[in-house]
Amino acid sequence: MLKYFTKRLVALVLIITAISIGSFYMIHLLPGDLATVILGSGNTPENKKKLFAQLGLDKGLVHQYLTWMSHVLRGDLGKSYITNESINTSIAKALPIDLEMIVVSQIVAFAAAIPLAMKAAKKPNGLFDRISNGVTFGLLSVPSFIIVVYLVLIIAIKWQVPGTGPASFTRFPEWSWLFSDTGTFFTTLKDNLMSLLIPSLTLSIGSFVVYFRVLRSDLIATLQEEYITMARSKGLSRRRIMWRHAFRPSSVALLGTAGINIGGLIAGGFVVQYLLSIPGLGSLLIASITLQDYLVIQSTVFVVAVAVIVINFAVDFITTLVDPRIARD
Amino acid sequence: MSQEINSTNQNPAGDLLVVENLTTTFQTARGALPAVGGVSFRLGANEILGVVGESGSGKTVLSRTIMGLQPRTNVEVGGSVLLDGHQIVGATDEDLRDIWGTKVAMIFQDPMTSLNPVTKIGKQIGESLQVRLGMNKAEAKARVIELLTLVGIPSPEERYDAYPTQLSGGMRQRVMIAIALACNPTLLLADEPTTGLDVTIQAQILNLLDELQLKMKMSVILVTHDLGVVATRTDRIIVMYAGRIVEMGTTKEVFRNHKMPYTRALLESTPRVSNPSHTRLQTIPGRPPNLLKLTEGCAFAPRCSRATEKCSQERPTLEPTGVDGHYFACWNPLEDQAAPVSIQTGTIKEIGEDNVRG
């Protein structure tokens, strides 16, 4: 077990190093001239030289990378070339929004997918199984930018659910319910959650569909296993067999899928963020790409990549708790 | 068939299990598959019954149907199984939950696939103690360690936390036995309990079962394809072929005076220590019949050296031999044998001609 995790940890460090190099070098592959972006019409060779000296861009690539990394390791992601704003601050503002959207959407997705998958797997090809299979298959092929539009139409416009309208997204959380000095804890929490309703629901539908289908098919396979018959022969209730004996061995693929999916949602929820003007990481990334704000792109990509890797590492860890055979070999 | 047995074997008081005209039919895409085609027998308290037959003869399905453990979809079960007054046929899982584990328990064939791979064995054994017998955690754990000791697992305290994959096949089968015995069942169904194990372990497990049967006063149905396994350990034997009983009697009678050529063929395909070395092992020519295409006649007829016209047209019913409790289903039964079955090389046909008098 320990050996397995040491190995994984070494791999983790190596991967993060590789990613840092990748996200650093990526910028240099992009077309465009930083000097034009920053200096505009004042981009004379002389000014450019001055600017590069000022920004440290006249040094070699290796030197630049090491300078960047040494700051990153000390927790300083640098400043935007364009707005001069600290990248730490920009990310600290945006990241909680992503995290909250992910946490809420994943809770909803799992809370729906697990019991429904169990119900469907109980009678494969039964009525419920066929209907849920059909519906989720349909939803699987509907992209999130369509779903989000329909949710806005139904929830915010048709039902007029208060606090969910388009205006709510721009004053989106920043975890204001925790720090706000206006209103009580619960009213701000309610505001926060209401403004989160449509984007989280959109993400949760996408996740739910995948989780449901993965878990359903694994449960059906597991329920055919001999050890399920054995569990029946002990005189255990269906419920207990489902939760204690079928769910755990069936959840390995579900966890793996969730790891990839959650990783994808960090900044990957950017379509939804963009459409609803939610100032999360995805929006930050898109804005910085439009502005060719190199260091912001580089740092955001790096942070997102590290988050994805850490999440998958955590998922691997949980997986070994669920199925200890994995860590043994 | 069932009436005959009822009339000649009236012993309702001592019978723990009464199976009458039991049928299990699977609905498959290619038609109805009669895995068990009308089986009747009785089992007394503390009795050990062997059920033998080739793979596909319906032994496993029979034992599962007796317990009510057959799959719930695409299966039809007919007839009657009375276990200590409980009707199993037609009962749902919910009905049977009260007797599963406590009245009847099963040791499954393959200890590699029958244990939950992600649950510690101690928990798997203790689960029924907690759920069924209402023990608390500590009581259950103490009892599990007792059970592990009982089935001969060394250092049970450590093994309590082992996962099935950390144990050898023999150890896993011992765990299976511990699970089956946890709630002191009155009937234990052992479905090929030693098939997946190597020979020395087989003997250990079977001896353990013998010992536990005496200790715990259970009735046991021992299902196997290996006559060597049942010879010394059972009181009575049922020989199955194509989902039906073709011969049934006390172990001694079946071994000494079997009437059914299939029983003979099975006996001869069992290796014996008394044979000279390099004796060629008999095999039964042909394959077990396709149950989807059973004919009106005797299912063994196509493979039988004694088959006549009648065999392929009319199915023989179970008839008493005259010796108490000994039945067979054959139109051309073997004569009484003075000597035990001799083993020769060659095919069944040769044996049929040379060895059988008459």
Over residues B132-188, the pLDDT tens digits come to: 999 999 999 999 999 999 888 999 999 999 999 999 988 999 999 999 999 999 999
Q: CB distance from B27 to chain A under 8 Å?
A: no
- Low-confidence stretches of chain A (pLDDT beneath 70): 31-32, 165-188, 267-268, 328-329
Q: Which of A226, A232, A328 sits opposite B110 (nearest CB)?
A: A226
Q: Give me the count of residues in chain A.
A: 329
Q: In terms of Cα–Cα distance, which of B264, B248, B288 is closest to B35?
A: B288
- Interface of A to B at Cβ within 8 Å reads 123, 225-227, 229-238, 240, 244-245, 248-249, 322-325, 328
The pLDDT value given to residue A177: 41
Cα separation, A265 vs A262, whole angstroms: 5
Q: CB distance from B338 to chain A under 8 Å?
A: no
The tokens of A258 are what?
């969730």
Q: CB distance from B110 to chain A under 8 Å?
A: yes
Answer yes or no: do A32 and A100 share one domain. Answer: no
The tokens of B214 are what?
């005496």
List pLDDT tens digits, range A195-244.
788 888 999 999 999 999 999 999 999 999 999 999 999 999 999 999 99
Q: Which of A233, A240, A328 sits opposite B101 (nearest CB)?
A: A233
Among A125, A129, A218, A227, most B C-beta atoms within 10 A, so best to mutate, is A227
Smallest Cα distance from B97 to chain A, Å: 4
The CATH number covering residue A236 comes to: 1.10.3720.10
Smallest Cα distance from B69 to chain A, Å: 7
Residues of A in contact with B97 (CB under 8 A): 235-237
Among A223, A233, A240, most B C-beta atoms within 10 A, so best to mutate, is A233
Helix, coil or strand: residue A267? coil
Angle formed by the axes of helices B199-216 and B169-181, to 10°? 20
Residue A43 lies in a domain: yes
Residue A85 lies in a domain: no
- Give me the phi and psi of B260, to 5 degrees please: -95, 125
A125: closest chain B residue by CA: B73
A320: closest chain B residue by CA: B118
Cα distance from N-terminal residue to C-terminal residue, chain A: 9
The tokens of A168 are what?
């709510």
Q: Do B114 and A323 touch (CB under 8 A)?
A: no
Contact B141, B222 (CB under 8 A): no
Cα separation, B300 vs B39, whole angstroms: 17
B351 band by pLDDT with thresholds 50, 70 and 90: very low
Residues of B in contact with A324 (CB under 8 A): 118, 163
Residue A120 lies in a domain: yes
Answer yes or no: do A182 and A307 share one domain. Answer: yes
Domain tally, chain A: 2
Smallest Cα distance from B114 to chain A, Å: 4
Answer yes or no: do A23 and A130 share one domain. Answer: no
The pLDDT value given to residue B88: 94
Q: Interior CA angle at B184 toward B14 and B116, to 5°?
A: 130
The tokens of B151 are what?
């089935």
Q: Do B105 and A233 touch (CB under 8 A)?
A: yes
Cα separation, A255 vs A55, whole angstroms: 44
The tokens of B213 are what?
């049967």
A234: closest chain B residue by CA: B101
Q: Interior CA angle at A200 toward A195 and A201, to 5°?
A: 105
Residues of A in contact with B102 (CB under 8 A): 235
The pLDDT value given to residue A51: 81
Cα separation, B337 vs B258, whole angstroms: 8
The pLDDT value given to residue B228: 81
> Has residue B348 got a pLDDT over 50?
no
Answer yes or no: do A156 and A15 share one domain. Answer: no
Answer yes or no: do A63 and A112 share one domain. Answer: no
Residues of A in contact with B183 (CB under 8 A): 235
Q: How many CB pairs under 8 A join A and B?
A: 81
The tokens of A97 are what?
């929004």
Q: CB distance from B69 to chain A under 8 Å?
A: yes
Cα separation, A262 vs A269, whole angstroms: 10
Residues of B in contact with A125 (CB under 8 A): none
Last residue of a domain, one of A19, A40, A73: A73
Give residue A22's domain range. Answer: 2-73
Most confidently modeled range among A323-327, B70-74, B90-94, B293-297: B90-94
Q: Give chain A's count of helices (H) and strands (E).
A: 17, 0
Domains of chain B: 2-103+185-251+316-337 (3.40.50.300)
Cα separation, A113 vs A136, whole angstroms: 10
Q: CB distance from B163 to chain A under 8 Å?
A: yes
Residue A35 has, within 13 A of its CA and on its CB side, a CA count of 17
C-alpha A272, offset from chain centre: 12
Residue A150 lies in a domain: yes
User: Percent helix, strand and coil across chain A, each rounded to 5?
Assistant: 80, 0, 20
Contact B39, B239 (CB under 8 A): no
Answer yes or no: do A123 and A11 share one domain. Answer: no
C-alpha A57, offset from chain centre: 32
Residue A184 lies in a domain: yes
Is the interface score ipTM higher than 0.85? Answer: no
Q: Which of B102, B115, B118 sits opposite A324 (nearest CB)?
A: B118
Q: Which of B102, B116, B183 sits opposite A227 (nearest CB)?
A: B116
Alpha helices by DSSP H, chain A:
2-29, 34-39, 45-55, 61-73, 87-122, 127-140, 144-151, 167-170, 176-179, 185-223, 226-233, 238-240, 248-265, 270-276, 281-290, 294-322, 325-328
List pLDDT tens digits, range A36-61.
777 777 778 888 888 888 777 788 88
Residues of A in contact with B128 (CB under 8 A): 234-236
- Give me the phi and psi of B39, to 5 degrees please: -115, 135
Contact B117, B164 (CB under 8 A): yes
C-alpha B195, offset from chain centre: 12
User: DSSP labels for A189-212?
Assistant: HHHHHHHHHHHHHHHHHHHHHHHH
Q: Do B108 and A226 touch (CB under 8 A)?
A: yes
Answer yes or no: do A30 and A125 share one domain. Answer: no
Answer yes or no: do A166 and A229 share one domain. Answer: yes
Q: Which of A231, A235, A325 sits opposite B132 (nearest CB)?
A: A235
Answer yes or no: do A242 and A320 share one domain. Answer: yes
Strand order in the sheet with B244-250: B104-107, B187-191, B219-224, B48-52, B236-241, B244-250, B327-328, B319-320
Q: CB distance from B24 to chain A under 8 Å?
A: no
Contact A91, A277 (CB under 8 A): no
Residues in CB range of B146: below 8 A, 6 or more apart: none
B4 band by pLDDT with thresholds 50, 70 and 90: very low
* Mean pLDDT value of segment B198-226: 89
Task: Indicate the range of A172-181, B20-29, B232-241 predicted with least confidence.
Answer: A172-181
Residue A104 lies in a domain: yes
| DSSP structural state of residue B42 | E
Answer yes or no: do A95 and A61 share one domain. Answer: no
Residues of A in contact with B133 (CB under 8 A): none
Residue A80 lies in a domain: no
Q: Do B118 and A236 touch (CB under 8 A)?
A: no
Beta bridge partners of B320: B327
Among B106, B114, B144, most A C-beta atoms within 10 A, so best to mutate, is B114
Residue A288 lies in a domain: yes
Last residue of a domain, one of A44, A73, A102: A73
* Mean pLDDT value of segment B19-33: 93
Answer yes or no: do A66 and A181 share one domain. Answer: no
List pLDDT tens digits, range B273-321.
677 777 777 788 888 888 888 888 899 988 888 888 888 888 998 888 8
Answer yes or no: do A153 and A6 share one domain. Answer: no
Smallest Cα distance from A262 to chain B, Å: 25
Cα separation, A20 vs A15, whole angstroms: 9
Q: CB distance from B113 to chain A under 8 Å?
A: yes
Alpha helices by DSSP H, chain B:
2-8, 59-67, 93-96, 121-131, 137-150, 156-159, 169-181, 199-216, 227-231, 251-257, 261-268, 309-313, 348-355
A227: closest chain B residue by CA: B114
| DSSP structural state of residue B329 | -
Contact A64, A295 (CB under 8 A): no
B114 band by pLDDT with thresholds 50, 70 and 90: very high
Q: Which of A233, A248, A325 sits opposite B100 (nearest CB)?
A: A233
Q: In terms of Cα–Cα distance, which of A312, A313, A319 is closest to A251?
A: A319
Q: In terms of Cα–Cα distance, which of B151, B63, B113 is closest to A230?
A: B113
